[in-house]
Chains A and B, each alone.
Chain A
Amino acid sequence: MTGWFPVALTMDVPAGTAAPARLSGKEIALWRGVDGEIHAWEDRCPHRGMRLSFGFVRNGNLACLYHGWQFGADSTCRHIPAHPELRVPGTIRATAYQVQERCGMIWVSLDETPSLSHLPEGEASGVRSLLVQVPLQTARTSLNMEASNWKQQDNCLFAVHEPAVGLTMLHVASWTVAGQREAARQAVQLRDRLEAIKETVLA
């Protein structure tokens, strides 16, 4: 899977918290330090495989819930509570992905795709993310997203990603406060229409 994908809204990962996300089944831990910097790592502690998205943000590190191993912003292990005197080898690290925040959304790339480009400029605010229980391609076609996974419409940005096969997360952001309600309404309307069509087809 190549490219950049919107996996969450900026407002849904506040400073000092961690949150789960999935990208085509790949589990991702998003976390934000108290300094506001966002991180996207494989959702798996290199120690015992516990989900890092269950962890705590402590002293600028993400601490695993299971044994408390702490990983710094550069994803290397900084501290192992059971061996407090140990100088932790630099090879012990979480798997970090490329991450950027643009237009009120958190964008992740699982590969070496160059910097995120093409997106509109300006500070947009997240409106909401909602689950649409249809395949990603169906949602993209309905939203007239040609070759990309986002679309600007008036003062709003609609972007999609696939958490798992057959599911789509639709993320909505707006450049104006006035446009937020209308954007949310359109998103809900689209979801209801697509899911109704799916139900009809299955029936």
Chain B
Amino acid sequence: MRLRDWALDDRCYAVRLGASLMGVKLPTVTDDSALESGPALELVDDVLHGSLDILKRLVTLPDVLQEWNSGTDAMTWAANALDSFSIMRRTVMLASLPVENPAQLAMPLMGEIEDRLAENRLDGRCWVSGDHPGVADIMLFPVVALSQDLEVPLDLYPAVRNFMRHFKALPGFITMPGVPECH
């Protein structure tokens, strides 16, 4: 098992992060195509594409003891959020000229995430997956943590900040360029 990876890609980071949190040792190989098409997991007889499918496979590994599953709705929602964010981020970061007010691109998505997290908080839960962190939370984290690349002001999203603080305290949390260990 090996991950075709691009270190700066948000979708690849979601997979590396998930593997680390689940305690799965996942060898990586840098692959240019992952920048465009996202991560791919090489298996003995197959190749899995996309963060969601790869994370769902990791969860089923016998060494993964903790429950990391999220509900189907939550996983689909988080996967869509990650995909849309990833497109926006690549649009901004790979643009030949600076994009004016990039935060405006991401703010509708950030508002949607904030609403969902704030509702969960009223129920006493800080995870999208419920009482425990799951695949949906793992896919959501790169979106909110890398929103700074689009200059999103986090003072406007307190439930997102609360989610990030709890997420960074999880055992096995790893960083990537643009995601510091603190804050």
Interface residues of A (CB under 8 A from B): 8-9, 12, 14, 17, 19-22, 54, 56, 65, 127-131, 133, 163-164, 167, 169, 180-181, 184, 188
Contact = CB atoms under 8 A, between A and B. Distances in A.
15 contacts: A8-B158, A12-B158, A12-B161, A12-B162, A17-B165, A20-B153, A22-B153, A54-B182, A128-B121, A128-B122, A130-B115, A163-B156, A164-B153, A180-B122, A184-B118
B155 interface: yes
A14 B158 CA distance: 12
B129 to A, nearest CB: 20
Interface string B78-119: 000000000000000000000000000001000100110011
Given A56-B182, A163-B153, A184 B158 contact: no
A181 B161 CA distance: 21
A131 B157 contact: yes
Nearest to B119: A184
B173 to A, nearest CB: 17
A22 B155 contact: yes
The 8 closest A-B pairs by CB, nearest first: A12-B158, A20-B155, A128-B118, A131-B156, A129-B158, A21-B155, A54-B183, A22-B155
A14 B165 CA distance: 10
B156 A19 contact: no
A38 B6 CA distance: 42
Contacts of A22: 153, 155
A20 B164 CA distance: 14
Interface of B: 107, 111, 114-115, 118-119, 121-122, 153-159, 161-162, 165, 182-183
A131 to B, nearest CB: 5
B85 to A, nearest CB: 18
Nearest to A54: B183
Which of B122, B156, B182 has the largest number of chain A CB atoms within 10 A? B156
Nearest to B157: A131
Contact of B154 (A20, A65, A130, A181): A20
B111 A131 contact: yes
Which of B114, B158, B165 has the largest number of chain A CB atoms within 10 A? B158
Contacts of B153: 20, 22, 163-164
A9 B158 contact: yes
Contacts of B107: 131, 133
Which of A20, A22, A56, A167 has the largest number of chain B CB atoms within 10 A? A20
A127 B159 CA distance: 11
B178 to A, nearest CB: 14
A21 B122 CA distance: 22
Nearest to B118: A128
Contacts of A167: 156
A19 B161 contact: yes
Contacts of A163: 153, 155-156
B109 to A, nearest CB: 13
A90 B161 CA distance: 33
A1 to B, nearest CB: 17
B122 A127 contact: yes
B155 A130 contact: no
A14 B169 CA distance: 14
Nearest to A195: B111
Nearest to B158: A12
Contacts of A184: 118-119, 122
B111 to A, nearest CB: 7
A60 B155 CA distance: 23
B122 A181 contact: yes
Given A181-B122, A184-B118, A184-B122, A128 B159 contact: yes
